[in-house]
Structure 1
Amino acid sequence: METNRYPFPDLNSLPEDIRAKILEVQDKAGFVPNVFLGFARRPAEWRAFFAYHDALMLPETVGRESGLTKGDREMIVTATSAANQCLYCVVAHGAILRIYEKKPLVADQVAINHRKADISPRQRAMLDFAMKVCQNAHEIDDADFAVLHAHGFNDEDAWDIAAITAFFGLSNRMASFSGLQPNPEFYLMGRVPKAKPAA
């Protein structure tokens, strides 16, 4: 199996704000997703990357409403990351997608062919738009917006779809060129329902 091309920095050597955020993520997830350490070798870029990430994926943190659900956003990442052949992002965001949508098969379906996935017509239209931004953004025109509008999306939602697609295009390329590997934990997340505690 391939290994990360750039060694991760030691957590204790990182600036305090970055270290605190990584420990917060570890506390919540039970592990540190490799992207947090992989990008931490350049603190200024780490801060910029995660500020933009959070503005797009957690819009409530910047006081902005979005017509996209958390599942919608992860679905966009999974589908377009697959188009960009990014192993890390497909595996990591596919795991989160399975959890948000409560569908163990959806990430694999969306990554392979969203047109045949078990998703709503609204989500299919959203991913059609995202894939066009991913692969042929220069061809986007009014007709593409009209399809989104017919499914209840507005122009701000279209911006979100495009911005998430574009941002993860950057993330995909950085993860792929640097050999960033998915954490093993991601592969099983959301695939098997959690056992209910005994009464």
Structure 2
Amino acid sequence: MPHIPLEEHLPGITGLLEYRQDSAAPIRVLTQILLRGDSTLTQGERELIATLVSHRNQCRFCTTAHTAAADLLLNEAETCEAVKQDFETAPVSAKMKALLAIAALVQQNGKNVTTEAVDRAKKEGATDMEIHDTVLIASLFCLYNKYVDGLASVTPTDPAFYTRLGERIVNHGYTRLQGGYDHLKK
């Protein structure tokens, strides 16, 4: 049960963002820019970063939602599962492994990101912008994970919910739906 009253038809982050739309607006814009904006990292790769951080933070809602989005964007489900288990052996590029290593360090503590970790990413072809965005995505998802879990937002258990949410994330992005979310009421 959430620690504050939230719309029952809006579990997870959506209910929290709707609760305080004024603070949600800039967060949504930032998330849209980082995960759907122009980048040399694919949308699927950026979702892998969000998934890894959420998984390591043990935020079930965010992990499941972003796994669903990553799976759709990658058009398969094996890579995301492998990244959550051990990104160093996952079927992703050496550059992506280095960026995921940076994201994992940020998840622990931003001060854990070392010159060696950044040098590894650069050696594997990561640009300064990709390193920047990896750190910012990882930081943003630490915020989201703590937001969802800190207010005990409802975490659905039905896999179909996350399939639909993943489709909404992929097809609509992170901006608020034009007409809001009343259509999700039962």
User: Please, what TM-score do these two structures have when normalized by structure 2?
Assistant: 0.77
What stretches of structure 1 move > 3 A for 4+ residues in a row? 3-7, 186-190
Larger deviation: 36-45 or 79-88?
A: 36-45
Aligned length: 163
| C-alpha separation in 2, matches of 1:44 and 1:10 | 20
1:49 to 24, 27, 30: 27
CA distance in 2, matches of 1:182, 1:75: 21
Displacement of 1:90 in angstroms is 0.3
Aligned equivalents of 1:182 and 1:162: distance in 2?
29
From 65, 69, 83, the equivalent of 1:96 is: 69
The answer to whether the 8 Å contact 2:49/2:138 transfers is yes
Matched residue, 1:149:
122
Corresponding residue for 1:196? none
Letter in 1 for 2:57: N
3-state SS in 1 of match to 2:102: helix
Of stretches 41-50 and 168-177 in structure 1, the one that deviates more from structure 2 is: 41-50
The TM-score with structure 1 as length reference comes to 0.72
Q: Distance in 2 between matches of 1:171 and 1:75?
A: 15
Please give the root-mean-square deviation of Cα atoms over the aligned residues, in Å: 2.4
Structure 1 position 136, deviation (Å): 3.5
Q: 1:34 to 1:66 in 2, by over 3 A?
A: same
Q: How far apart in 2 are the matches of 1:87 and 1:160? A: 23
Give the alignment of 1:115-194 within 5 angstroms: 115-180=88-153, 181-182=155-156, 184=158, 185-188=160-163
Rg: which structure is higher?
1
1:66 partner SS: coil
Distance 2:60 2:8 in 1: 24
- Whether the 8 Å CA contact 1:77–1:93 is kept in 2: the answer is yes
**Does the CA-based 8 Å contact 1:80-1:134 persist in structure 2?**
yes
8 Å contact from structure 2 (residues 98, 117) kept in 1: no
Q: Deviations over 1:14-61 (max 9, x none)?
A: xxxxxxxxxxxxxxxxxx7742223211121111221221121122xx
C-alpha separation between the residues in 2 aligned to 1:102 and 1:129? Answer: 25
| Aligned-partner SS, 2:109 | helix
- 1:78 corresponds to which residue? 51
- Structure 1 residue runs of 5 or longer lacking an equivalent are 12-31, 60-64, 191-199
State the AA in 2 paired with 1:80.
Answer: V
Quick one: percent identity of the two aligned structures? 25
Gaps (5+ residues) in structure 2? 167-186
Instruction: Output the CA distance in 2 between the equivalents of 1:92 and 1:10.
Output: 18
